[in-house]
Amino acid sequence: MQTLKRLWRERPTLNSFLFLAAGMLIILYFSARHVGFSASQWAALALATLGLAALCIWIIGWETAESDDYESNEPES
């Protein structure tokens, strides 16, 4: 359990990506399971979904970096 806690603290972006990607892939599967996609179509959809999850986490990271910069530039009182 300590290893998981350490991993969560050391790599929050990677963990966020993994959780978001897993959730998005589950939603993709349940939403399109009866459509009749071929294996290559499923692979393309899965890759696009993983790319979107990565893009979402990258954009969220901008906000985190900006708030960290703002906090570090505040004058001490």
Residue spans of the domains in the chain: they are 2-73
Stretch 9-37: mean pLDDT: 93
For the cut 70, the answer to whether the pLDDT of residue 74 exceeds it is no
Structure tokens at 69: 């910069």
| Cβ-based neighbour number of residue 34 at 10 Å | 7
Q: What amino acid occupies position 56?
A: C
Question: What does pTM read for this prediction?
Answer: 0.75
Q: Distance between CA 70 and CA 11 in Å, rounded? A: 22
In this prediction, residue 68 carries a pLDDT of 65
